[in-house]
Chains A and B, each alone.
Chain A
Amino acid sequence: MSSRAVRAPGAAASRTVRPHPGAPLSWRRVRKRAWSVGFYLLVLIVIFVALFPFYWILRTSLSTNADIARGTEATGLAPSHLSTNAYSQDFSQQHFLTPLINSAIVALVATAITVVVATMAGYALARLSIRGAGAILGFILLAGFFPVLAMVGPLFLLLRDLGLLDSIYPLILAYLVYTLPIATWLLRNFFAQIPRELEEAALVDGATRLQALRKVVVPVALPGVFTAAILSFILAWNDFTFAVSFLETPGNFTAPLAIVNLGQSQFQVFYNRIDAAVVIITIPIALLVLFAQRRIVAGLTAGSFR
């Protein structure tokens, strides 16, 4: 556009004209100040809404059964006694460690498969000029939108016929519908940005494509691969639908499924026990987000459009 040429002098001019000499508390400055106070207030509200619920479950998880029964009106915003009873009960009576391990196995294996398969496909779609690459990418995108509930019935029947119901391992295959589409798209976009010269050099030196991919391209693309792994892990770790459909015995539950069945007795809901488990499964995800937030943001946007 034509504005581009005008920009530099225009911007400089507007900046030098702004301050009003001799008007220390001009209307403009008051308004500006008020605006920035308002803005920070808004930021605080958003942070509060996003994070306060986590304080609430932490507080609930550290409350005694008696405090839970008395209710918030009586106890106020903080529990009267801090108690880790709910946590120890989760592990000793409810055997919450088993579902945690189940979840970790399923999510990690799904992530590993996703990373390998999506790296290969992403590279091929970005570099190897295959026919129908657009159609393949379109299909992968559509698969990411496939209604999960429409998978549940047929997969249930299939697993039943194979005698694999109530096992965590088939979940790995099902979870690929969450992870593969976003990981493949993300890596395809990532590979497309790596300069071709890099691998051309290796190819000229007599390396095969696969060697070039493994020794030259993947090391450069490692941040992208890492991002794909983080997103895949989060998506697989978060599943509830498949777990609640295929698993039956508590010993085979994944952590999200175990939580829903936790702390429910006939007479009372033990929110402290439920929330203790919620706190536990939130911790790995929260840590991932804190350490990798930039990557996650980049990955989400690269995987979804561009």
Chain B
Amino acid sequence: MSSHAATAHERPRPRRGARDGRGGRLAADRRLGYALVAPVVLLLLAVTAYPLGYNLWNSFHSVNLSEAGSAQSFVGLDNYTKMFGSSVWVSSLERTLAFTAVSVAIETAIALGLALMLHRRFRGRGLLRAAVLIPWAVPTVVSATLWKTMFDSRTGFVDYLLGNVGLPGAHTTWLAGIWTSWAAVFVADAWKNVPFMAIILLAGLQVIPDEVYEAARIDGASSWQSFRRMTLPLLKPALAVALIFRTLQAFLVFDVIYIMTGGGPGVSTETLSFLNWQTFLVGTDFGYGGAISVMLVAMALAIAAVYVRVLRPETS
């Protein structure tokens, strides 16, 4: 019945379109457009909005698989008060923020240098680009186990190198200490992720017209001056993109930690994502884990919101 009404409603439109030739095509295009976009939207809703909703529901309930037979009772904000009052959660938040700040700052500086190198025309640029791209493309499992091997005190390379160069630290069992564990995690993480930032920054450098540099040179600017006054400001959009991609990635760090340290020694390298994983899969507490997830999403969205504002997708 209703479909009949719909077709009756629709009828005048193609005729109007037929008269001026474009309107009909436009309406038909639009309908086709929605049909073509629907799968990607539905699939992404299924893997993001659905889990978010489920987490939200769980976070207000007691959902613990280890408590056999217990009904999923409504517990109000209990999971959230538990979380904000938990020293474990607070300290893993602090660790996560500290790791994010340190790794993003250092990696941005290195990536900028790397991008400037890749931007120069020189023999061997292709080799450098490929060499840098492979660490990015390789699975995190590879970068993590590879650096675990490198840092191993017996069969590794780092201690051997330090010993032969005569630097201190030649007999460090890296993954046994708190700070040395963080150092190892940072190196593995930076080795894999700096290339991505560098590629984004390189693209930013490539859209800066040569005229800008020429003009700066004519005006007698030194290369440092032209970098600071011309390159950096013009690089801002790319820098923002790279920064926020990287910030989110560092903020959500999980697999390097899992593989290299397992959160240890003790709990000293546990990050928010790691704590969330443990709550879900070791503690099987999906109510409390849901609360942690909801907070994780909220914080990640806050970071991403900045990104979207910077980007503003242009609709042609």
Is A297 within 8 A of B145, CB to CB?
Answer: no
- The 9 A-B pairs of least Cβ separation, nearest first, read A128-B33, A3-B215, A154-B54, A301-B203, A124-B36, A130-B33, A256-B141, A150-B293, A154-B51
23 A-B contact pairs sorted by A residue (CB < 8 Å)? A10-B214, A43-B117, A43-B122, A43-B124, A46-B114, A53-B147, A117-B43, A124-B32, A128-B32, A128-B36, A136-B37, A139-B44, A147-B273, A153-B286, A157-B54, A176-B43, A180-B40, A180-B44, A184-B40, A285-B139, A286-B138, A297-B203, A305-B200
Measured in the bound complex, the distance between the Cα atoms of B230 and A1 in whole Å is 13
Interface band, chain B: 35 or more
A241 at the binding interface (Cβ < 8 Å): yes
Contact A271–B155 (Cβ < 8 Å): yes
Q: What CA separation (Å) do A151 and B202 show in the bound complex?
A: 33
- B88 near A: Cβ within 8 Å? no
Nearest CB of chain A from residue B10's CB, rounded to whole Å: 17
A: contact size bracket: 35 or more
Tell me the chain B residues, 239-256 only, with Cβ under 8 Å from chain A: 241, 245, 248, 252, 254-255
Inter-chain contact A152/B277, CB cutoff 8 Å: yes
CA distance A280 to B113 in the complex (A): 32
A244 at the interface (CB under 8 A from B): yes
Across the interface, which residues of B come within 8 angstroms of A46, CB to CB? 114, 117, 128, 131-132
Q: 5 new A-B pairs (CB below 8 Å) besides A149-B273, A154-B51, A173-B47?
A: A46-B132, A153-B290, A174-B47, A289-B130, A305-B200
Nearest chain B CB to A216 CB, angstrom units:
15
Other-chain contact of A130, B34, B44, B259 (Cβ < 8 Å): B34
Q: A125-B37, A149-B293 are in contact. Are A259 and B141 (CB under 8 A)?
A: yes
**Complex Cα gap A71–B146 (Å):** 16
Q: Which of B1-9, B77-85, B296-304 contacts A (4 or more CB under 8 A)?
A: B296-304
Question: Is residue A133 contacting chain B, with contact meaning CB distance below 8 A?
Answer: yes
Chain B facing A: main interface SS: helix
A residues within 8 A CB of B43? 117, 173, 176, 180
Interface residues of A in 233-279 (CB under 8 A from B): 234, 237-241, 244-245, 256-257, 259-260, 269, 271, 274-275, 278
Question: What residues of B have a CB within 8 angstroms of the CB of A180 in the complex?
Answer: 40, 43-44
A288 contacts partner chain B, Cβ-Cβ < 8 Å: yes
Interface status of B184 (Cβ within 8 A of chain A): no
Taking the nearest CB of chain B, how far is it from the CB of A143, in angstroms?
A: 4
Complex: chain A residue closest to B160, CB-CB: A72
Return the contact of B46 from the options A7, A126, A173 (Cβ within 8 A). Answer: A173
Is A68 at the interface (CB under 8 A from chain B)?
yes
Cβ of B127 within 8 Å of any chain A Cβ, yes or no, is yes
Q: A120-B36, A133-B315, A274-B149 are in contact. Are A304 and B217 (CB under 8 A)?
A: no
Alpha-carbon distance between A304 and B248 when the two chains are bound, in angstroms: 14
- Find out whether the CB atom of B146 lies under 8 angstroms from the CB atom of A53: yes
Q: Are A305 and B311 in contact, with the CB atoms below 8 A?
A: yes
Chain A residues with Cβ below 8 Å from B39 are 117, 120-121
The stretch of A21-29, A54-62, A89-97 that contacts the partner chain: A54-62
Contact with B277, one of A6, A42, A124, A149 (Cβ below 8 angstroms): A149
Give the chain B neighbours of A84 by CB distance below 8 A.
none
B155 cross-chain contacts in A, Cβ below 8 A: 60, 63, 68, 71-72, 271
Asked if residues A72 and B159 are in contact (CB atoms below 8 Å), the reply is yes
Question: Counting CB contacts under 8 A, is A210 at the interface?
Answer: yes
User: How many Å lie between the Cα of A286 and that of B191 in the bound state?
Assistant: 15
Does A141 lie within 8 Å of B129, measured CB to CB?
A: no
* Minimum C-beta distance from B303 to chain A (A): 8
Beyond A1-B211, A3-B211, A3-B215, whether A138 also contacts B313 by CB under 8 A is yes
